[in-house]
Structure 1
Amino acid sequence: MELDDLVEELRARADSARVSQERLGSLLDAVIAVSSDLELAEVLRRIVVAACELVDATYGALGVLGPSGEELVEFVTHGITEEQRAAIGPLPRGHGLLGMVIASPRAQRVPNIGQHPDSYGFPPNHPPMTSFLGAPVRIRDQVFGNLYLTDKRSAPEFSGDDEAVLSALAAAAGVAIENARLYEHSRTQQLWGEVLGDATQALLEGAAQEVVLADVTDAVCRLARADACFVALRQGSDVVVAAASGEGDPAEAPGEVLREPRIRAAMLGPAHIEPGAEGGTRAMLPLALGESPLGVLVAEWAREEPTDHVPHLELLGRSLAVSLGAASARTDRARSELLEDRDRIARDMHDNVIQRLFATGMSLQSAAPMSTPEVRAKLDRAVDELDAAISDIRHTIFALHRVPGGRPLSAEIATVCGDAAVTLGFSPELRMTGPLADVPEDVAAELLAVVREALSNAARHAAASMVNVVVEVADDVSVVVTDDGRGLPEGVSRSGLGNLARRAEGRGGSFSVEPGDGAGTRVHWRVPLASGDGPGT
Structure 2
Amino acid sequence: MTFPSVARLELDELLTQLVERAQDVIATQGRLRGLLRATRMITTDLRLPVLLRLIVEAACELLDARYGAIGVLTPDRRRLEEFIHVGMDTDAAERIGHLPTGHGLLGALIDDPRPRRAEDIARDPHAAGFPPGHPAMRTFLGVPILVRGEVFGNLYLTDRRDGQPFTAEDEELVLALAAQAGVAIENARLFQESQARHQWMSTAAELVGLLTTGTDTPLELVADRMCAVGEAQYCAVVTASAALPAHGDDSRAGRTVRLAVALGAGEPNPTGAVIAEDGTLVGQALAEQRPILVDDPQLDASDLERGEDTASLMVLPLPVPRHERAIVLLVGRDQGRPAFTEFDLDMAATCAGHIAVALELAQARAERERLLVADDRGRIARDLHDHVIQRIFAIALGLQDLAQYENPTNAGRLATYVEDIDATIRDIRRTIFELRPGSTGTARGGGVRDTLDKIAADARPGLGFVPTVRYAGPVNSVVDAGLAEHASAVAREALSNVARHARASSVTLAVQVVDDQLIIEVIDDGVGMSETTRRSGLDNLRTRAESLGGTFTVTAPAGGGTHLRWAVPL
TM-score for the superposition, normalised by structure 2: 0.68
* Equivalences for residues 251-290 of structure 1 within 5 A: 252-258=269-275, 261-262=278-279, 265-266=283-284, 267-270=286-289, 271-272=291-292, 273=294, 275-277=300-302, 283-290=314-321
Match of 2:380 among 336, 339, 345: 345
Distance 1:92 1:244 in 2: 33
2:172 aligned counterpart, secondary structure: helix
Q: Residue type matched to 1:139 in 2?
A: V
2:318 aligned counterpart, secondary structure: strand
Task: Kindly state the Cα deviation for residue 346 of structure 1 after the two structures are TM-superposed.
Answer: 1.9
Task: Kindly state the Cα deviation for residue 441 of structure 1 after the two structures are TM-superposed.
Answer: 8.2
Aligned residue number for residue 414 of structure 2: 379
Task: Kindly state the Cα deviation for residue 344 of structure 1 after the two structures are TM-superposed.
Answer: 1.3
**What's the CA shift string for 1:78-116, capped at 9, x where partnerless?**
111233223234433434433443344343333333344
| Residues 282 and 451 (structure 1), Cα distance of their counterparts in 2 relative to 1, 3 Å cut | farther
2:141 aligned counterpart, secondary structure: strand
Task: Kindly state the Cα deviation for residue 57 of structure 1 after the two structures are TM-superposed.
Answer: 0.2
Distance 1:403 1:131 in 2: 81
* Equivalences for residues 370-409 of structure 1 within 5 A: 370-401=405-436, 406=443
| Residues 100 and 32 (structure 1), Cα distance of their counterparts in 2 relative to 1, 3 Å cut | same
Distance 2:101 2:524 in 1: 83
Aligned residue number for residue 229 of structure 1: 235
* Equivalences for residues 112-191 of structure 1 within 5 A: 112-191=120-199
**What's the CA shift string for 1:370-404, capped at 9, x where partnerless?**
34445434433433333233233333333334576
| Residues 34 and 58 (structure 1), Cα distance of their counterparts in 2 relative to 1, 3 Å cut | same
Distance 2:237 2:97 in 1: 38
Q: Identity of counterpart residues, as a percentage?
A: 36
Matched, 1:358 2:393: yes
Distance 2:209 2:17 in 1: 77
Matched, 1:42 2:67: no
1:289 aligned counterpart, secondary structure: coil
2:68 aligned counterpart, secondary structure: strand
Matched, 1:314 2:349: yes
Distance 1:500 1:393 in 2: 24
Aligned residue number for residue 474 of structure 1: 489
Match of 2:261 among 243, 253, 276: 243
Q: Residue type matched to 2:320 in 1?
A: L
Check conservation: 1:269, 1:286, Cα contact below 8 A: no
Aligned residue number for residue 116 of structure 2: 108
Aligned residue number for residue 416 of structure 1: none
**What's the CA shift string for 1:2-60, capped at 9, x where partnerless?**
77666666655554444444433332232222222222111111110111011100000
Distance 1:329 1:337 in 2: 12
**What's the CA shift string for 1:421-459, capped at 9, x where partnerless?**
xxxxxxxxxxxxxxx7995686699999613399xxxxx
Task: Kindly state the Cα deviation for residue 187 of structure 1 after the two structures are TM-superposed.
Answer: 2.1
| Residues 375 and 48 (structure 1), Cα distance of their counterparts in 2 relative to 1, 3 Å cut | same
Matched, 1:450 2:471: yes
1:156 aligned counterpart, secondary structure: coil
| Residues 78 and 312 (structure 1), Cα distance of their counterparts in 2 relative to 1, 3 Å cut | same
Distance 1:248 1:295 in 2: 24
**What's the CA shift string for 1:140-180, capped at 9, x where partnerless?**
21121111111111351223432232122111110111111
1:80 aligned counterpart, secondary structure: coil
2:99 aligned counterpart, secondary structure: coil
Check conservation: 2:141, 2:158, Cα contact below 8 A: yes
Aligned residue number for residue 64 of structure 1: 72
Distance 2:109 2:215 in 1: 56
Match of 2:89 among 63, 81, 96: 81
Distance 1:110 1:315 in 2: 48
Distance 1:523 1:338 in 2: 42
How many aligned positions are there? 458
Matched, 1:214 2:220: yes
* Equivalences for residues 194-213 of structure 1 within 5 A: 194-208=202-216, 211-213=217-219
Task: Kindly state the Cα deviation for residue 513 of structure 1 after the two structures are TM-superposed.
Answer: 10
Distance 1:377 1:283 in 2: 79
Check conservation: 1:284, 1:299, Cα contact below 8 A: yes
1:129 aligned counterpart, secondary structure: coil
Aligned residue number for residue 330 of structure 2: 298
**What's the CA shift string for 1:115-145, capped at 9, x where partnerless?**
4444443333222222222222111211211
Distance 2:174 2:487 in 1: 85
Distance 1:288 1:397 in 2: 41
**What's the CA shift string for 1:206-240, capped at 9, x where partnerless?**
111xx332233234444445443211223359744
Distance 1:437 1:390 in 2: 19
| Residues 371 and 179 (structure 1), Cα distance of their counterparts in 2 relative to 1, 3 Å cut | same
Task: Kindly state the Cα deviation for residue 70 of structure 1 after the two structures are TM-superposed.
Answer: 3.9
Distance 1:175 1:352 in 2: 83
1:138 aligned counterpart, secondary structure: strand
Q: Residue type matched to 1:128 in 2?
A: A
Task: Kindly state the Cα deviation for residue 288 of structure 1 after the two structures are TM-superposed.
Answer: 4.5
Check conservation: 1:132, 1:150, Cα contact below 8 A: yes
Q: Residue type matched to 1:334 in 2?
A: E
Check conservation: 1:476, 1:526, Cα contact below 8 A: no
Distance 1:126 1:478 in 2: 74
2:42 aligned counterpart, secondary structure: helix
1:35 aligned counterpart, secondary structure: coil
Distance 2:397 2:442 in 1: 40
Task: Kindly state the Cα deviation for residue 253 of structure 1 after the two structures are TM-superposed.
Answer: 2.6
- Aligned Cα RMSD in Å? 4.4
Distance 1:442 1:341 in 2: 27
Q: Residue type matched to 1:311 in 2?
A: D
Distance 2:53 2:157 in 1: 14
Distance 1:447 1:199 in 2: 48
Check conservation: 2:470, 2:509, Cα contact below 8 A: no
